[in-house]
């Protein structure tokens, strides 16, 4: 049975803790959060630590890192140096160099490193990717996730934007989807963004979008915005086009954009080929907690079955590199050429 420490008890951290609470292969040895936090009843009996260093005294076998992005790299490396395997929420780090440092540490210490790309465990998104790959390149990717946030949700977004923009925090998920569909190399990124609120730092923006060009002539567009001013119209677009047709999520814009459960929900996939449409229905989709359960089960399996994670880690660095290049493009007003970013 693996001894598990969960660091960071925001929405994702609590979900990961609940996953390990329910798994027979896990023994939670501690929870870490800098401030007092209201916990579900199931988690209240576990030891609480108020710093990562204090939590590591529990000698975990696995550390789940769900803290703010700027701490991910240092915490992951420290955990692996202490002998623990690591699950780290996306993004893996806030710079490509730090992401590569974490991967190198995993290789040097022979520890497992899993990055929290939740869509990789969703059967509907797996179907979407497979159907798109059948069409063949070049692809046009039209993907977005905008969130009209207010109250506590806006406070959370403002806290995140102290270090990470929306297109990086959310974009890594959807760039990862692009890269799973096309096997081509990303070449160049163009980005644009704007600060729509005086409540965030002057050097941060809460709306952005970018275009990425791949070596097979595929092009990808991604858009993300956070805040009370964001529109609820067309906030969830997932559309992939190729010379042979298109694949689209049909149910994405139902409900509220701030509903986390809706961010992974597919409902149905419309496949269009040769002027014919085929609707693939997706009944009984897993909810957010079930997806977190699947992520953490994969973490346990990776350790117990010694799963090779080299491709997984390389993909995590590549998707982060694209989103950070978009952030650089927004800040400099220039397109960014991508050099090799593999590990």
pLDDT at 285 (0 to 100): 83
Answering whether pTM is above 0.85, one says yes
For residue 304, what pLDDT is reported? 97
Average pLDDT over residues 166-190: 94
Q: Which residues pair with 144 in a beta bridge?
A: 223
What would the CATH number be for the domain defined by 2-116? 3.40.50.720
pLDDT value of residue 231: 94
The CATH number of 120-288+321-337 is 3.30.360.10
Domain range list for the chain: 2-116, 120-288+321-337
Cα angle: 62, vertex 67, 70; to 5 degrees? 115
Q: Note the pLDDT tens digit of each residue in 88-132.
A: 999 999 999 999 999 999 999 999 999 999 999 998 899 999 999
Residue 285: asked if its preceding bond is cis (omega within 30°), the reply is no
Whether the CB-CB separation of 152 and 343 falls below 8 Å is answered with: no
Which of 9, 48, 4 is closest to 28 using CA atoms?
Answer: 4
Structure confidence by residue, pLDDT tens digits, 205-246: 999 999 999 999 999 999 999 999 999 998 989 999 999 999
The rounded percent of the chain whose pLDDT value lies above 70 is: 94
pLDDT computed for residue 256 by the predictor? 63
Q: Residue 281: its pLDDT value, please?
A: 87
pLDDT digit string, tens, across residues 191-215: 999 999 999 999 999 999 999 999 9
**314 confidence band (pLDDT: 50, 70, 90):** very high
Q: Taking Cα atoms as reference points, which of 200, 252, 209 lies closest to residue 227?
A: 200
């Amino acid at each position: 049975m693996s001894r598990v420490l969960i660091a960071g008890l925001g929405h994702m951290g609590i979900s990961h803790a609940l996953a390990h609470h329910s798994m027979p292969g896990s023994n939670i040895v501690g929870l870490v959060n800098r401030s007092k936090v209201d916990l579900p009843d199931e988690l209240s009996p576990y030891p609480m630590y108020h710093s990562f260093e204090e939590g590591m005294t529990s000698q975990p076998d696995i550390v789940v890192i769900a803290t703010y992005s700027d701490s991910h790299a240092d915490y992951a490396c420290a955990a692996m140096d202490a002998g623990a395997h690591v699950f780290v929420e996306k993004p893996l780090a806030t710079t490509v160099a730090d992401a590569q440092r974490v991967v190198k540490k995993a290789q040097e210490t022979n520890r497992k490193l899993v990055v929290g790309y939740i869509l990789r465990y969703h059967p509907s998104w797996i179907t979407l990717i497979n159907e798109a790959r059948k069409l063949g390149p070049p692809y046009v990717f039209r993907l977005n996730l905008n969130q009209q946030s207010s109250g506590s949700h806006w406070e959370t977004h403002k806290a995140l934007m102290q270090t990470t923009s929306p297109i990086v925090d959310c974009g890594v998920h959807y760039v990862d989807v692009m890269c799973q569909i096309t096997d081509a190399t990303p070449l160049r990124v163009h980005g644009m963004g704007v600060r729509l609120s005086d409540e965030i730092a002057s050097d941060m923006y809460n709306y952005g979008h970018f275009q990425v060009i791949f070596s097979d002539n595929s092009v990808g567009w991604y858009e993300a915005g956070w805040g009370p001013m964001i529109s609820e119209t067309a906030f969830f677009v997932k559309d992939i086009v190729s010379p042979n047709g298109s694949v689209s999520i049909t149910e994405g814009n139902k409900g509220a954009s701030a509903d986390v459960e809706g961010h992974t929900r597919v409902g149905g996939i419309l496949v269009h080929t040769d002027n014919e449409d085929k609707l693939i229905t997706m009944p009984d989709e897993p909810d957010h907690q079930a997806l977190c359960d699947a992520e953490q089960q994969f973490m346990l399996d990776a350790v117990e079955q010694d799963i090779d994670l080299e491709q997984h880690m390389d993909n995590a660095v590549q998707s982060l590199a694209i989103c950070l290049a978009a952030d650089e493009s927004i800040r400099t007003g220039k397109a960014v050429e991508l050099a090799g970013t593999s590990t």
